[in-house]
């Protein structure tokens, strides 16, 4: 839910530059659970993330690089067992790739900054988009709206 970012030199909620690290570099800076999902395209067990039922207002960031991904206003209860959203925070915040693993035809969702595997998107979501972004909670960091605003205001005065 809040990865150990102090050992991660690329983690930033404000830097939008692309991140290209080797797998060895990622392995050194990411917690093991984040590395497994973000870099090895793993999946956490359904219903295991505390973010699944979180109702607080705020922003969800990539746990690997800090990129803003989703806002709480687009989160909804899908019943799938993973945090679900109907749209990303911006067009470039996530990228997509076809995923034909396990004999299924799905669309993988990755971080637009570091290409971390986040989960998948399906076309069975609510209006206004009709999409359901089914995202592994392990690869999300959540910051409450007030906390994010205070941090932004503080960084602007430095």
Q: Kindly indicate the confidence band of residue 2, based on its pLDDT and cuts at 50, 70 and 90.
A: very low
Res. 1: pLDDT tops 90 = no
Reply yes or no on whether the pLDDT at 158 is more than 60. no
Residue by residue, what is the 3-state secondary structure of the chain? CCCCHHHCCCCCCCCCCCCCCCHHHHHHHCCHHHHHHHHHCCCCCCCCCHHHHCCCCEEEEECCCCCEEEEHHHEECCCCCCCEECCCCCCCCEEEEEECHHHCCEEEEEECCCCCEEEEEECCCCCCCCCEEEECHHHEEEEEHHHHHHHHHHHHHC
Is 134 an annotated catalytic residue?
yes
- For residue range 19-71, what is the model confidence (pLDDT) as tens digits? 999 999 999 999 999 999 999 999 999 999 999 999 999 999 999 999 999 99
The confidence band for 4, taking pLDDT boundaries of 50, 70 and 90, is very low
- Output the domain CATH number for residue 81: 2.170.150.20
Question: What pLDDT does residue 17 have?
Answer: 94
Question: Which residue is listed with tokens 């999409």?
Answer: 131
Maximal CA-CA distance, the chain: 52
**Structural domain tally of the chain?**
1
Is the pLDDT confidence value at 148 over 50? yes
Which range of residues forms the domain containing residue 135? 5-157
Choosing from 62, 65, 114, 134, the catalytic residue is 134
Mean pLDDT of 102-115: 95
92 vs 78: CA distance, rounded Å:
24
Of the pLDDT bands very low, low, confident and very high (cuts 50, 70, 90), residue 97 is very high
Confidence of residue 94 (pLDDT cuts 50, 70, 90): very high
Residue range 110-143, pLDDT digits in tens: 999 999 999 999 999 999 999 999 999 999 999 9
């Amino acid at each position: 839910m809040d990865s150990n970012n102090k050992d991660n030199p690329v983690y930033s909620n404000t830097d939008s530059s692309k991140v290209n690290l080797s797998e060895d570099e990622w392995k050194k800076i990411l917690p093991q659970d984040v590395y497994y999902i973000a870099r090895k395209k793993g999946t956490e067990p359904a219903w295991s993330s505390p973010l699944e039922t979180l109702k607080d207002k705020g922003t969800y960031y990539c746990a690997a690089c800090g990129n803003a991904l989703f806002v709480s206003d687009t989160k909804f209860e899908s019943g799938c067992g993973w945090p679900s959203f109907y749209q990303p925070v911006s067009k470039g915040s996530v990228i997509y790739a076809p995923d034909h693993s396990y004999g299924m035809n799905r669309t993988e969702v990755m971080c637009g900054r570091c290409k971390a595997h986040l989960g998948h998107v399906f076309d069975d979501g609510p209006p206004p988009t009709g999409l359901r972004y089914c995202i592994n909670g392990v690869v999300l960091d959540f910051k409450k709206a007030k906390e994010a605003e205070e941090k932004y205001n503080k960084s602007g005065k430095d």
